[in-house]
Amino acid sequence: MRVPAKGTPLRQRMIEDMGIRNLSPATQYSYVNAVAKYALHFGKSPAALGPEHVRGYQVHLIQDKRVSWSVFNTAVCALRFLYRITLQKDWAVQHIPYPRKPKKLPVVLSLDEVLRFLEFVSNIKYRAILMTVYAAGLRASEVVKLRVRDIDSRRMVIRVEQGKGRKDRYVMLSPKLLALLRLYWKVVRPSDWLFPGQRPGTHVSLDRVEKVCCEARQALGMSKKVTMRMLRHCFATHLLDNGTNIRIIQVLLGHSRLETTAIYTHVSNRALAQTSSPLDLLPVVPAPGQAK
Residue 151 β-bridge partners: 158
pLDDT over 60 (residue 2)? no
Give the H/E segment covering residue 160.
strand 157-160
DSSP 8-class letter at 169 = E
How do residues 83-131 score in pLDDT, each as one tens digit?
A: 999 999 988 777 766 666 667 788 999 999 999 999 999 999 999 999 9
CA distance 133 to 121: 14
With 0.85 as the threshold, say if the pTM is over it: no
Are the beta carbons of 164 and 254 closer than 8 angstroms?
yes
* Residue 98 pLDDT: 61
261-276 confidence digits (pLDDT tens) = 888 888 777 766 776 6
Q: What percent of the chain has pLDDT over 70?
A: 89
CA-based R_g, the chain, Å: 24
For 188-247, write each residue's pLDDT tens digit: 999 999 999 989 899 999 999 999 999 999 999 999 999 999 999 999 999 999 889 999
The residue that leads in pLDDT, 285 or 246, is 246
Neighbours of 278 (CB within 10 A): 6
Say what the pLDDT of residue 235 is. 94
What is the average pLDDT score of the chain?
A: 88
**How many residues in total does the chain contain?**
292
DSSP string, 175-220: HHHHHHHHHHHHHH--SSBSSB-SSTT-BPPHHHHHHHHHHHHHHH
CB 108 within 8 A of CB 267: yes
pLDDT of 101: 66
C-alpha 15: how far from chain center: 24
Residue 279 clears pLDDT 80, i.e. is over it:
no
- Band (260; pLDDT cuts 50, 70, 90): confident
Using pLDDT thresholds of 50, 70 and 90, give the confidence band for residue 74. Answer: very high
Q: Which CATH superfamily hosts domain 111-273?
A: Intergrase catalytic core (1.10.443.10)
Res 278: pLDDT: 73
pLDDT, position 287: 63
Closest to 142 in 3D by CA, of 256, 268, 26: 26
H helix runs in the chain, sequence order: 9-20, 25-42, 51-59, 69-81, 111-120, 124-136, 140-143, 175-188, 206-220, 228-241, 246-253, 258-261, 269-273
The architecture (CATH level 2) of 9-86 comes to Orthogonal Bundle (1.10)
The angle formed by the CA atoms of residues 145, 11 and 75, to the nearest 5 degrees, is 70
Angle, alpha carbons 142-160-246 (nearest 5°):
95
For residues 173-198, average pLDDT = 94
Among residues 176, 170, 175, 173, the alpha carbon closest in space to that of 248 is found at 170
Q: How would residue 164 be classed by pLDDT, with cut points 50, 70 and 90?
A: confident
The angle subtended at Cα 133 by Cα 129 and Cα 138, nearest 5°, is 125
- 3-class state of residue 70 by DSSP: helix
Q: How far apart are the first and last CA of the chain?
A: 70
Domain residue spans of the chain: 9-86, 111-273
Residue type, 65: K
